[in-house]
Structures are given as C-alpha cells and as structure tokens.
C-alpha cells in the first residue's frame, strides 16, 4: 500500500518537474523565434541591395506586338524580365511600324536618376521617375485598353546604418529615404515628458494610499487605480483626441492640438497605475518597526515617510518607474491618436511628433519591399531600447540593494 502511494507521489513529482521544464522551453522558444524573425528581416536593408537584379515589366503589350527584348521574342507579359547592366533594346510592332526603345542600365550609379535611362523612346511617351529606382515609360495611344507602360526597377543599394539612425527624413514611398532620427527623438521626448509628469504624481499617490489615507479612502482609491490600469489604451487615446487635443489647441492658439504635449499628458496618466501600485506594494513591504523606530526617535510622520519608508522601499519604487518607462516606450494606440505623427524633428513641446512604435503600427499593413524591412529594423531599435532598459533596472536594483 505504502509503495503504491510512494509511486504515485513520484509520478506527480516527475509530472510537475517536466511541466515546468516544458513551459520554460516554450517561453524561451517564443522569445528566440520572435527575436530571430524581427532581426533577420530588419538587418536585410543594411547588408545588400533590395533585390538581386534589375527587372523590366511590360504592361498592355500583346503577343501580336511581336515584342523583342535584345532580339528575343517575348510572349508571356505577366512575368517581369531580369536585365543585366548595360545596353538593351526593346523592339515592338505598332500599326504605324516598328518602334525601338533603348534602355541603358547602370545599377551601380550613385545618382538614382541615372540608373536606368531610356533613349530613342517614341514621341508620345512620358517618363515618370517620381519614384526613385523605378522608371516608368508611359507610351500614349495605340491600344484600346490603356497606355503601354515599360517599367524598369533597379535594386536599391544597401542603406547605411548611420543614415538610418541619424537621417532626419522619413520619405519611404517615393524618395526612399529612411531616416528615423525624428522618431527616436519623438519617442525619447514623449517618454521622458510622461515620466516627468507621471512619476511624481504616481509616487505621491502611492505613498498617500499606503501611509496616510484613512482606510475607507484607501479602499476606494486602490480599485480606482486598478481600474485605470484596465482601461484599453485606445480609450485613453480617444479621450485625448476629443478632450486634451482641442484644449491644447485653444490654450496655445495652434493650428492643431495634436502634439508632443498631448501625448505626454495621456502617457503620464497611463503610467500612473504601474507607478502607484509598485510604490504602494513596496511601501507595504517595509516592516512596521522601521516606522515605529523613526517615530520613537521623535521624527514626524512626514519625516518618517521621506527619510525612512521611501528609502527602504526605494528599489521597488524604482522598478515601478522603469516599468512605467517601458510602458511609455511601447505604448502605440493612444499615442497614434494624439501625437500627430509627423515625421519631423520636434522643435518644441507643441510640435507634432511621431514615435518608433507608431511608425511601425501606422505603416506595416501597407508597406512593401524595403519599406517593410525598414519597419522591422525599427523593431530592432526598440529591442535595443528595451535591453538597455533592463540593464538599467538591474543596475538600479543592485545599487539600491547595496545600502
């Protein structure tokens, strides 16, 4: 009987041990997978051209046009054709006779306008090179279904990391400029502003709930703070857009109230629950004899709070602040609604700014090619932000623990 019982115990023991191991493995695998996915996509633009070869794509041409590219007869116009650097000729038949278009490809040329050059093109055609690295020759007339188009797309060369991190222009669709300095500054500005606004309020509220508030008030305040934490961020954003933004616009007489200040106010409120509850919990963990000792020595209640209780709870409070920082860096939905999202280097607290996370959230669903890889690269930058933040937590905790 006893041995059966023993056996059962062993099985249960084994089961739980392996369950823990399994769950830990699942956690690690998810972190590694996400990290690998983001990093493998995000480093691509910096290590090579956006595609292997230059391509030419023909639209509204038909088999009866007898199109020949470098002498070779083309039949299937659904696919794009690869082109090497050098001279190419495109010949096709029209009712008026044969047309010849010469295309010179020089994909290594520093000037994007010179990478693909058309010559001998028909008179009725128009060259559209408003999109960099893409030249579209629009040939008017002749077909009933629309203009014939010859598009040449040259691969974009590798982008420099310095231009990415310190470039101040984000014009990803046509000009192919991917500078994220405005977003880095925007993120830092909004986050630090939110901390300056939210942390004092949060810490003082936490102290009030833990140390000073009458029991009834504390019983009301605590669930209220928890409720604040449970409100979806988009609701904060919507409130900001409908209330804070018009208010800022009226007070400062701006063209629009969507600004860094609006984002700071909303984020400042959003980090309150984290800071308040961390402060309160860590103050509660301070043993009562610390307070009693201080009071016995003749210190007042406020003196005790500042020189004994808060000091003893410092590590927990700092962790709350850093967690609030993390929340402010990562917050997206609310910020998108109130910050204005202009990719410009902010020159005052009232200018419209864009954060790193907003950029990804705004553009991911429509971006293609290198633009979307650049959004992954922004993901890496955010990754680095968070790693630095964690290092900061570790350092702070160590320092606070030393005393």
Partner 1 sequence: MKKVIGIATMCVLAMSLSACGSSNDGKDRVMISGSSSVNVLMEELEPVFEAKYENIDLKISASGSSDGIKAAKEGTVNFGMSSRSLTPEEKSGVDESIIAMDGIGVIVNANNPVTDLTIEQIAKIYTGEVTNWSELGGADLPIAVVARESASGTRGAFEEILGIKDQMTTDAKEFNGTGGVKSEVSQNPNAIGYISLGSIDETIKALKVEGIEASEANIQNDSYAIARPFILIYEENSLTQSSQTFLEWVLGPEGQAVVAEEFVSVENTAE
Query: What does the binding site for partner 1 look like in residue numbers (CB under 8 A)?
Result: 11-12, 15, 51, 55, 57, 59, 78-80, 130-131, 134, 136, 145, 151-153, 169-175, 182, 241-242, 245-246, 249, 254-258, 336-337, 340-344, 351-352, 354, 361-369, 371-372
Q: Where are the beta strands (DSSP E) in 125-187?
A: 125-128, 134-139, 148-153, 170-171, 177-178
Select 109 or 344, whichever has its Cβ closest to partner 1: 344
Instruction: Assess contact for 240 and 266: CB atoms under 8 A.
Output: yes
Beta strand 177-178 pairing with 134-139? unpaired
Select 163 or 363, whichever has its Cβ closest to partner 1: 363
- State the minimum distance, in angstroms, from the CB of residue 374 to partner 1: 11
Three-class SS state of 98: strand
Instruction: Give the dihedral of Cα atoms 116, 119, 122, 125; nearest 10 deg.
Output: 40
Three-class SS state of 59: strand
- State the minimum distance, in angstroms, from the CB of residue 368 to partner 1: 4
- State the minimum distance, in angstroms, from the CB of residue 191 to partner 1: 20
CA dist., res. 303 & res. 295, Å (int): 9
Select 172 or 193, whichever has its Cβ closest to partner 1: 172
Select 30 or 173, whichever has its Cβ closest to partner 1: 173
H or E stretch at 69: strand 68-69
Select 323 or 349, whichever has its Cβ closest to partner 1: 349
- State the minimum distance, in angstroms, from the CB of residue 146 to partner 1: 9
Instruction: Assess contact for 201 and 271: CB atoms under 8 A.
Output: no
8-state DSSP, 202: H
Select 105 or 272, whichever has its Cβ closest to partner 1: 105
The residue among 183, 189, 192 whose CA lies nearest residue 322 is: 192
CA dist., res. 403 & res. 391, Å (int): 19
- State the minimum distance, in angstroms, from the CB of residue 105 to partner 1: 14
- State the minimum distance, in angstroms, from the CB of residue 229 to partner 1: 25
């Amino acid at each position: 009987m006893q041995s059966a019982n023993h056996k059962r115990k062993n099985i249960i023991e084994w089961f739980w041990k392996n369950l823990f191991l399994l769950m830990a493995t699942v956690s690690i695998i998810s972190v590694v997978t996400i990290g690998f996915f983001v990093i493998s996509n995000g480093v691509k633009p910096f290590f090579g051209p956006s595609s292997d070869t230059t391509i030419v794509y023909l639209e509204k041409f038909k088999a009866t046009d007898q199109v020949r590219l470098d002498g070779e007869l083309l039949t299937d116009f659904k696919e794009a054709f690869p082109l090497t650097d050098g001279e190419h000729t495109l010949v096709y038949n029209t009712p008026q006779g044969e047309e010849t278009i010469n295309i010179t490809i020089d994909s290594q040329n520093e000037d994007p306008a010179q990478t693909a050059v058309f010559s001998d093109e028909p008179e009725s055609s128009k060259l559209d090179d408003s999109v960099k690295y893409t030249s579209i020759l629009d040939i008017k007339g002749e077909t009933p279904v629309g203009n014939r188009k010859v598009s040449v797309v040259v691969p974009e060369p590798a982008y420099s990391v310095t231009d990415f991190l310190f470039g101040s222009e984000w014009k990803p669709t046509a000009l192919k400029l991917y500078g994220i300095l405005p977003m880095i500054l925007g993120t830092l500005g909004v986050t630090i502003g939110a901390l300056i606004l939210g942390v004092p309020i949060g810490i003082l509220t936490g102290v009030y709930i833990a140390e000073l508030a009458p029991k009834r008030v504390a019983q009301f305040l605590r669930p209220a703070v928890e409720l604040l934490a449970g409100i979806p961020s988009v609701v904060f954003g919507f409130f900001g857009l409908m209330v804070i933004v018009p208010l800022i616009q009226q007070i400062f007489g701006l063209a629009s109230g969507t600004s860094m200040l609006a984002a700071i106010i909303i984020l400042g409120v959003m980090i309150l629950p984290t800071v308040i509850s961390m402060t309160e919990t860590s103050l509660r963990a301070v043993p009562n004899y610390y307070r009693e000792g201080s009071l016995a020595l003749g210190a007042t209640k406020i003196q005790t709070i500042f020189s004994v209780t808060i000091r003893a709870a410092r590590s927990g409070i700092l962790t709350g602040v850093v967690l609030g920082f993390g929340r402010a860096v990562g917050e997206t939905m609310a910020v998108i609604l109130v910050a204005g999202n202009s990719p410009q280097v902010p020159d005052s607290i009232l200018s419209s700014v864009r954060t790193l996370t907003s950029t990804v959230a705004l553009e991911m669903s429509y971006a293609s090619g290198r633009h979307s890889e650049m959004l992954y690269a922004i993901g890496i930058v955010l990754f680095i932000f968070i790693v630095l933040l964690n290092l900061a937590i570790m350092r702070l905790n160590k320092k606070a623990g030393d005393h």
